[in-house]
A and B are shown apart, each in its own frame.
Chain A
Amino acid sequence: MSAELAPGVAPLVTGPSTAPAVPGLRRRATRRRTVLRVVLLVAFAAFFAVPLLALVEFSTRGAGGISGGRSLAGWQQIVDYPDLVGAILSSLELAVLTSVLSLALLVPTMVWIRLRVPQLSRLVEFLCLLPLTIPAIVLVVGWAPIYLWINYFTPRAYQSSPLALTFAYIVLVLPYSYRTIDAGLAAIDVRTLSEAARSLGASWATVLLRVIAPNIGPALLNAAVLSVALVLGEFTVASLLNYVNVQVAMNNLSQQNSNVAYAVATASLAAVFLLLFLLSLASRRRTRGSSS
């Protein structure tokens, strides 16, 4: 076992060399490998594409079944379900609130810690990455009594508002926001920038908003987009704490009118995919620009 794990001492069988001596054999082996790669790629592409295509197909299936014509009825009927529209709006509001508030909580703290209390940086990193190891389904169990208190102190009119989920969602996005902001801050000279601004008489708020923030703009955007994507797809916490967001609403609706539910699912998925894909394109252009 130890010999296998230590590549330096892995025994190489020495014998009469046969394989790569003849160029023709080599070329045939390369061609065979190319064919294998193409076959595998097609298989993987099919596995990943079929469920997505099926989702689109299902949401546009007409009354005549699969062989009948296409119908956009499912998409058009979305507006006929006010609860569903309300849930979509709630999810969008939650996405904005979560991304803005998580940045407002993290950025000042992380800048402050870099400048003044670097001995806390390990603790903050540990706390921010903790949600990666504690499953959301476990956190929900702990959040349930806390949300009873939150409900107790909110005015009756707002008690069922899903916006209360913001508290939990900020925790869920912590690891992703932390990593992106940390990378952003590591790329600039926070100390020099802030000391220059401070010596010119800038307040801490000015330093944060007008000096640091513009310099880590791409990282902030990155963190915000990841938060939005996570919140739009969140189901676990909302459904178990009895709040209705878009995922919960469309899950409830799937028994009743699957065409509409699948149309909303397709739309939310397309939105998230588009956001994440644009993000990866943008970040690649940046890395290429900085390396050249």
Chain B
Amino acid sequence: MSRGRVTGGRLAWLGSLPFLAYVGLFLLAPTVIVAAGAFTDVANRPTLANIRVLGERTVVDSFVNSIALSAASAVIGAVLGAVLAWVVVTGNPDGALRRTTTAVCGVLAQFGGVTLAFAFIASIGNQGLVTLALDAVGPRPGTGWLYELPGLVLVYSYFQIPLMVLVFLPALDGVRPQWREAAETLGGSSWQYFRHVAVPLLTPAFLGALLLLFANAFAAYATAAALISQGAVIAPLQIRTALTSEVILGQANAGKAIALGMILVVAVAMTLYALVQRRSARWLR
């Protein structure tokens, strides 16, 4: 290697300076602002007053609600997504069903926000298609629940199930047909194969996907914000309140404390995810 190349090597990292500067300013700086702001007051003096906000009744409730919502939608999404993935994987691996389902799931897993809220209001809202159709044949179904936690669980399932399909399909592909044949040769029934081979084998992958779905739902904001315009039943909506409402004196950094709390919850979920992922990689490749 030439000498010029070596000296160039010492300063070569400068070539990545624009990228590092940009990421430092718009990704790391905001993160530091949140983390530091959670422990300082408006005048940048250290304080624990913001953290005390995390102990307030409404904020605690919002975190409990958020965790319940994320857990419920993750479990529903994971179970139904696994079922859909099974339906797909038992078909022809190169067939149209599998290709269409993965393409559609790829699109729907990214779908969310105002449009998704609109779609559900148009279906089961007060003037929704399904509501009016059911009204025509029987008693009118209630619609208020759509704008509360149960509604959010249903609406979140709309992107959680497709995400589960995408995450879980590779794991199902890793289950070799030979294992089923081996179980049958030994006289095992379908149930025994399911209970003693498939389930233990897929459990780590399933738990990993569950955690990913949990983090996904916990971080979601736009759909809930469009559906629930008033109040703050979940943690992301508490941040909206903190950012948009008239700031109460001395609580200007309360939003940062709530944001820090959210980072911690997501970090726990993602750490567990990484641990589980390492375990499942051992069996399925």
Contact = CB atoms under 8 A, between A and B. Distances in A.
Interface of A: 4-7, 10-20, 29, 33, 37, 40-41, 44, 47-48, 50-55, 57-58, 66, 105-106, 108-109, 112-113, 116-117, 120, 124, 127-128, 130-131, 133-146, 167-168, 170-171, 174, 229-230, 233-236, 239-240, 247, 250-251, 254, 261-262, 265, 268-269, 272-273, 276-277, 280-281, 284
Interface stretch (B51-59, B113-121, B137-145): B113-121
A138 B34 contact: yes
Given A53-B129, A112-B15, A136 B221 contact: yes
A40 B187 contact: no
A237 to B, nearest CB: 9
B123 interface: yes
Given A54-B119, A142-B29, A281 B103 contact: yes
Nearest to A249: B114
B228 interface: no
B27 A37 contact: no
Cβ-closest 10 pairs across A and B = A142-B30, A135-B219, A17-B187, A51-B119, A58-B122, A54-B123, A109-B19, A116-B12, A54-B129, A235-B222
Nearest to A52: B119
B113 to A, nearest CB: 5
Q: Is the interface of A mostly helix, strand, loop or mixed?
A: helix
Contacts of B91: 37
Interface in B222-262: 222, 225-226, 236, 239-240, 243-244, 255-256, 259, 262
Given A18-B189, A146-B25, 19 more contacts: A4-B203, A5-B203, A5-B204, A13-B196, A19-B184, A50-B129, A54-B123, A66-B127, A135-B262, A135-B266, A136-B219, A138-B31, A138-B34, A146-B29, A168-B26, A251-B114, A269-B115, A277-B107, A280-B107
Interface in B109-154: 110-116, 118-120, 122-123, 127-130, 132
Q: Is the interface of B mostly helix, strand, loop or mixed?
A: helix
Interface of B: 8-9, 12-13, 15-16, 18-20, 22-23, 25-34, 37, 80, 83-84, 87, 90-91, 97, 99, 102-104, 106-108, 110-116, 118-120, 122-123, 127-130, 132, 158, 161-162, 183-184, 186-190, 192, 196-197, 199-201, 203-204, 215, 218-219, 221-222, 225-226, 236, 239-240, 243-244, 255-256, 259, 262-263, 266-267, 270, 279, 283
Contact of B200 (A7, A57, A108, A130): A7
Contact of B129 (A58, A106, A128, A229): A58
- Among A29, A128, A280, the one with the most B-chain Cβ atoms within 10 Å of its Cβ is A280
